[in-house]
Structure 1
Amino acid sequence: MLYYPFAAAPTNVIQQAILYWDGLRTVVAPGWRSRLGPEMEAIRDRGFYAPIRPYRDYRRALTQDRVIPDLQQALSEIGPLDVQIPEEPPILNSNTMLYEGKLNPGVVDMLITQGYAVRHPDSPSRLYGSPRLMHMVISIMASRIAADNNWRHGSEGPESLYPHTDITTAFRLNVDPIAGRRVSDGWKVGRLTSDPSFPCRERVSILVVSGNSEKSMNRLVLI
């Protein structure tokens, strides 16, 4: 599982990664170790978690000539209010910022010069803008990373990556079709529910694979 848009996955995502997949990957920036919580540290020590350093591991997949066209196309299909920069910078531990180290320098320059993001005054290595824009950038990166990884290692097996998020806006940005770009397959795990109409007393979780692959399907998992 490739979780996005944040480097540190929440508890429910960690549990899903262990139950449904062979492990967890997230996109990280320099200094990522200091931002891992105890649960992430525990699964890393047991070999269930490995970080993805985009600036090192997927440099070719995230060049500006690949990311910027996707981003420009996505921006053209949403309203200006959706990408409006907040009047006040967010607090430093906010999840609505992007570490510059995750991005190609050309992408950083495009976001700043075209007025989509600014540097945080208290931490210039972090960019902030509208939450939807931040999620959009990471969604595109996750899609590019998964596609490149699966092209090299195959879309099945322990090395395959499938994007997953628990943030609704980020999920829709990654799987909704954008003209000229093939969306990646991804998982969205619904809340655990007790359904009295279902012919068992166990709680169920609905897992939906979204994408345009011929292998896309709905799956019901009992736990």
Structure 2
Amino acid sequence: MGVLLYYPTVTPPAEVVHQALLYWDGLASVVPRDPRVYSSLVGRELRRLEERELYRPLAFTPESLDVLDGDGRSPRTGQNWSLLTRELERIAALPDPPRPTSPPEAVLFTSKITYPLKQQLLELGLAANLGPSDLRAELSVSKEVQNLVVGVLARELAATTDLALFPYTDSEGAYRNSLRPVSPTRGLAWEMELGRLLPVPAPDTATEDVLAFREAYADERRRLMRALHRMLGDLRRDYEHPADVFSQLRTELSEAVEDYEAARRGSRMAWVHRSVTVSVALAAAAGGALLLPDLGWLLGTIGGYALNVATREIRPLAKARTDHDFSYLHRVRSALA
């Protein structure tokens, strides 16, 4: 099913942890390379999940960050670094650029990024050093800059690692920024609301109870996510005929939803529906003239659940996964299931 890659911060809120445990093979987040900083950020619960191989701290190695710096040792020649650099320069040139504040609006750990990127942020006036001069492990930045930088790093990890990583954030700004950097080739994406298909336990539910449900109903969970990601993958490839995709998969999805609903009813937990949006980058051949003027909004009903589907233009990063390119946005509003 793949691993949920949470960003822009290291530690996700409890409902995102529960989402990962229920619907993915596990949880990951982008962490600083400095072990001292990592130890101070990762709490007891994430450590317990790491011991059970359900949480994976991911950090860029110096070699992989060299690719972002465009040092010439990679056939990609630092394309994503170039895209990020141009976007930061554009932001710094705005009439009212997002300057760092004291106390900081947001923090960027220097061991998450490269030294050249740190220097660029400082020179552009988009960051300021924090802490004693002999450490300087943190930068004060705006939320916009934090979201942009870590969003790019998350997308780079998802595109280059051997793991099936699915970027997942609860920050609207980080979600948009991760798709925004200017690229020579623009594309289209489906954007779908999936929240009612992926309910989570109510707030204050103990993680141990979620883990017990995960183990007891592993087949039902996997069946639902396999059907869902098959639908998303088919929509990405067969973008000209979304109604046909829904028609072909309606029975499989409806049965998977019904089985999962029965499992939920058999549990003693209270459940809520959280809003979850997924952006699905379409195949490179997709053309705006084909999709945008005529398709509009399409309503597909799966087992009594409404799936809102629309197209929108995206400007993807230079490199994307060929097997999938999905990004998830988790919103905090919820309703009882």
TM > 0.5:
yes
- Mapped to 2, the partners of 1:125 and 1:15 lie a distance apart of 30
Q: 1:89 aligns with which of 56, 78, 103?
A: 103
- Residue 282 of structure 2: which of 205, 213, 216 is its match? 213
Cα offset, 1:161, TM superposition: 0.8
Distance in 1 (alpha carbons) for counterparts of 2:124 and 2:103: 18
Alpha-carbon offset, residue 60 of structure 1: 4.7
Unpaired segments ≥5 residues, structure 1: 154-158, 194-199
Report whether the alignment pairs 1:16 with 2:28: no
TM-score by length of 2: 0.51
* Cα offsets for 1:62-108 (capped at 9, x unmatched): 3354444222333426845352222x232xxx7x1111111111111
1:61-140 superposed matches below 5 A: 61-64=67-70, 65-75=78-88, 76=90, 79-86=94-101, 88-90=102-104, 96-122=106-132, 124-140=136-152
- The 1:13–1:56 alpha-carbon spacing in structure 2 relative to 1, beyond 3 Å, is farther
Identity of aligned residues (%): 26
21-30 vs 120-129, which moves further: 120-129
Contact 1:164 1:186 in 2 (8 A): no
Separation (CA, whole Å) in 1 of partners of 2:67 and 2:13: 27
Q: How far, CA to CA, are the matches of 1:186 and 1:33 in structure 2?
A: 37
- The size of the alignment, in residue pairs, is 202
**Whole-Å separation in 2 of the counterparts to 1:43 and 1:124:** 30
- Higher-helix-fraction structure: 2
Note the aligned Cα RMSD (angstroms).
3.7
> 1 or 2, which has the higher strand percentage?
2
Q: Distance in 1 between matches of 2:192 and 2:53?
A: 22
* Farther-moved stretch of structure 1 (102-111 vs 183-192): 183-192
For residues 188 and 165 of structure 1, the distance between their equivalents in structure 2, rounded to whole angstroms, comes to 14
- Measure, in 1, the Cα distance between the counterparts of 2:41 and 2:194: 24
Aligned equivalents of 1:21, 1:187: Cα separation in 2:
18
Helix, strand or coil at the partner of 1:9 = coil
CA distance, structure 2, for counterparts of residue 131 and residue 113 of structure 1: 18
Counterpart Cα distance in 1 of 2:191 and 2:15: 17
Does residue 172 (structure 1) correspond to residue 172 (structure 2)? The answer is no
Q: TM-score scaled by structure 1?
A: 0.74
For 1:16-62, what per-residue CA distance to the aligned partner results, in whole angstroms no more than 9, with x for missing partners? 11111101111111121332122212211111011111135733543
3-state SS of paired residue (1:50) = strand
Distance 1:77 1:53 in 2: 26
- Select 1:51's aligned residue among 47, 53, 57: 57
Match of 1:196 in 2: none
Contact 2:194 2:278 in 1 (8 A): no
Equivalent position to 1:3, from 1, 6, 13 = 6
The CA deviation string for residues 142-176 of structure 1, in whole angstroms up to 9 with x for no partner, is 11111112xxx3xxxxx211111011111111134
Q: 1:133 to 1:55 in 2, by over 3 A?
A: same
Higher RCO by CA contacts (8 Å cutoff, separation 6 or greater): 2
Letter matched to residue 138 of structure 1: V
Partner of 2:315: none
Distance in 1, matches of 2:65 and 2:44, equals: 29
Q: Is there any run of 5+ residues in structure 2 with no aligned partner, and where?
A: 71-77, 201-260, 266-270, 284-299, 308-336
